[in-house]
Every structure is written in structure tokens, then in C-alpha cells.
């Protein structure tokens, strides 16, 4: 158990050094949200097996931006777990944390993560605002989280799949990469009558559309099955939304996945050792 702690300390030191160098060089300095001791203590327990974070489809536009080293813009499209329900303040949502984590890895770049989460929405609502909330922002990547509300409400699965497919096509037509965000491992989703079909449809969309999917459910299941982060610490009392701790860890792992699109980045190796 000592290796993750040592690696985490190494990464924290290298990040602080990179931020200091960037500031000295007159580069942009992004404020990193203060997490508090309770949430920071979770960091060494965020780990999952490396193969769980291995994407099966490329993100060419993200890779190009990271190789150029100037700017990267991400739009987080989704419902309440994107908006940040369960987080104690907006700075602790996964999009806010993701921006901080990415900047720590690439301190010389202008990194922007825009939160376009709206609580309670289903895929059709999100599709209706793609032009306004996604295309208009001219992002390099869209992380699309959908399906949990539809599963809980037992909405038609075929309609969900059609809308998601059309939305992916619409976004990619503008030269934007898409990553799907899998559902959270939460009791209200687990107990939904057809939740497996929704998960299967997301995996099918990933394969047929050749877009990566971030396996949030598998990650959270790993935490719980290994005792790294128990359910009561990962999911809020409403049995649906994530906590500060799980938002923190999801953002940290998601940043690692995005950063893997860029070869030969020392910060990636540092986090991978954790």
C-alpha cells in the first residue's frame, strides 16, 4: 500500500513545481479548488486497474490539441451528475475538478471545461440544446453523460439509442470528439428495471460509433468491491448522486484517460504509477 502514497506525493510535488514554473514564465495559472482534508485523503484510493482506463477508440482532435500544447476546450454535457448534484459546492463538481486536474498535467496550456449539465434531463432534452450548449462553445471534446434518468423512469430504450446516435453524429460533424460517460453505481440506478439494457446500449453505441466510453459504473464497483471507497462515501444519502469524494476521483481518472491521448507527457507517467 506504500507505493500509491509515494507516487501520489511525487505527483503532488511535480504538479506544484510545474505550476511554479508556469507562473514564473508568465503562463496561465488556474486556481485549483480547495478540497479539504477529508476529500484529499481519498486520493490514494482512487486507483483502478490500468486496463479499466484503456480506451478502445481514439480522440484525434484532443490528441492534436495536446500535441500543439496551446488550448483544450471540453464541454461536459449531461444531467445531474454532470451539473454536480451531491457536491458540496460548484468547485467540487466533476467538470470543475477535471479542469483543475488537466491543468495540473498541462500547466502551459489554456484548459477550459464547460459544465453543461442540467438536472433531471434525458437524452432528448440534451439533444435539443446541442447547438446552443455544445456547438456554440467550439469544444475539442464533448463528454456526454446520459441514460440514468431514462433508466429510472423506464423510458423507451430504442428512443434513447436513436437520440444518442443522432447526437453523436451531429457533434462529430463539427469536428468535435465525443466520449460517453457510463452511469454511476448507485442503488437507484442499480434497481432500475431495465438498467442493464441501457448500459448495453451505451456500450453498443461506443462500438458502432467508434467513440470511447468512460466506464464509471465499473470503476465505482471496483472501489466498493475492494473496499477502497465504500458505498456510503461514494454515493449521497439520496442513493443516486455522487459525493465530493467520488466526483474528485472520477475527475482524476478521467483526466488521466484524456491525457493518454498525448504521447510522451511526463505527468501522465506520474499518475499512471499511482
The CATH number given to whatever domain includes residue 186 is 3.40.50.1110
Question: What pLDDT is stored for residue 17 in this prediction?
Answer: 39
Q: Distance between CA 262 and CA 260 in Å, rounded?
A: 5
Question: What pLDDT is stored for residue 264 in this prediction?
Answer: 57
Which letter, b or e, does each residue of 237-259 get, where b requires 16 or more Cβ atoms within 10 Å of its Cβ?
eeebbbbbbbbbbbbbbbbbbbb
Q: Distance between CA 118 and CA 81 in Å, rounded?
A: 9
Question: What pLDDT is stored for residue 262 in this prediction?
Answer: 84
Question: What pLDDT is stored for residue 160 in this prediction?
Answer: 95
SS3 of 73, please? strand
Residue 192: give the domain boundaries.
2-272
Residue with cell 484510493: 45
Residue 23's alpha-carbon distances to 10, 14, 18, 99, in angstroms, are 20, 14, 9, 17
Contact yes or no for 187/242 (Cβ under 8 A)? no
Domain count, the chain: 1
Residue 91's alpha-carbon distances to 1, 35, 168, 217, 260, in angstroms, are 30, 9, 28, 23, 24
Question: pTM of the predicted model, to two decimals?
Answer: 0.83
Residue ranges with strand state E in the chain? 71-78, 110-117, 141-145, 177-181, 213-214
Rounded mean pLDDT for each run of 10 residues along the chain, 274 residues in total? 32 38 41 50 78 92 95 97 94 94 94 97 97 98 96 94 97 98 95 92 96 96 92 93 93 95 55 36
Q: Distance between CA 124 and CA 175 in Å, rounded?
A: 22
Q: Distance between CA 63 and CA 59 in Å, rounded?
A: 6
SS3 of 145, please? strand
Q: In what order do the strands lie in the sheet with 177-181?
A: 110-117, 71-78, 141-145, 177-181, 213-214
SS3 of 178, please? strand
Neighbouring CB atoms inside 10 A of 209's CB total 16
Cell of 239: 442513493
Contact yes or no for 41/105 (Cβ under 8 A)? no
Amino acid at each position: 500500500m506504500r507505493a500509491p502514497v509515494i507516487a501520489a506525493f511525487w505527483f503532488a510535488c511535480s504538479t506544484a513545481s510545474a505550476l511554479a514554473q508556469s507562473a514564473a514564465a508568465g503562463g496561465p495559472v488556474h486556481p485549483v479548488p480547495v478540497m479539504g482534508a477529508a476529500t484529499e485523503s481519498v486520493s490514494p484510493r482512487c486507483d483502478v486497474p490500468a486496463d479499466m482506463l484503456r480506451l478502445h477508440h481514439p480522440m484525434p482532435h484532443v490528441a492534436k490539441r495536446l500535441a500543439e500544447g496551446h488550448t483544450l476546450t471540453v464541454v461536459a454535457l449531461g444531467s445531474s451528475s454532470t451539473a454536480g448534484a451531491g457536491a458540496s459546492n460548484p468547485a467540487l463538481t466533476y467538470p470543475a475538478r477535471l479542469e483543475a486536474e488537466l491543468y495540473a498535467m498541462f500547466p502551459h496550456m489554456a484548459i477550459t471545461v464547460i459544465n453543461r449539465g442540467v438536472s433531471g434531463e434525458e437524452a432528448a432534452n440534451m439533444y435539443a440544446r446541442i447547438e446552443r450548449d455544445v456547438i456554440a462553445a467550439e469544444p475539442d471534446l464533448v463528454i456526454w453523460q446520459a441514460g440514468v434518468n431514462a433508466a429510472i423512469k423506464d423510458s423507451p430504450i430504442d428512443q434513447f439509442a436513436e437520440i444518442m446516435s443522432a447526437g453523436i453524429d451531429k457533434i462529430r460533424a463539427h469536428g468535435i470528439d465525443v466520449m460517453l460517460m457510463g452511469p454511476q453505481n448507485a442503488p437507484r440506478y442499480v434497481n432500475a428495471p431495465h438498467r442493464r439494457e441501457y448500459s448495453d446500449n451505451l456500450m453498443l453505441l461506443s462500438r458502432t460509433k467508434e467513440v470511447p466510453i468512460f466506464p464509471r459504473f465499473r470503476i465505482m464497483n471496483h472501489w466498493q468491491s475492494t473496499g477502497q471507497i465504500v458505498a456510503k462515501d461514494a454515493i449521497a444519502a439520496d442513493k443516486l448522486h455522487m459525493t465530493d469524494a467520488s466526483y474528485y476521483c472520477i475527475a482524476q481518472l478521467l483526466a488521466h484517460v484524456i491525457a493518454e491521448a498525448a504521447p510522451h507527457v511526463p505527468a501522465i507517467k506520474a499518475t499512471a504509477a499511482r
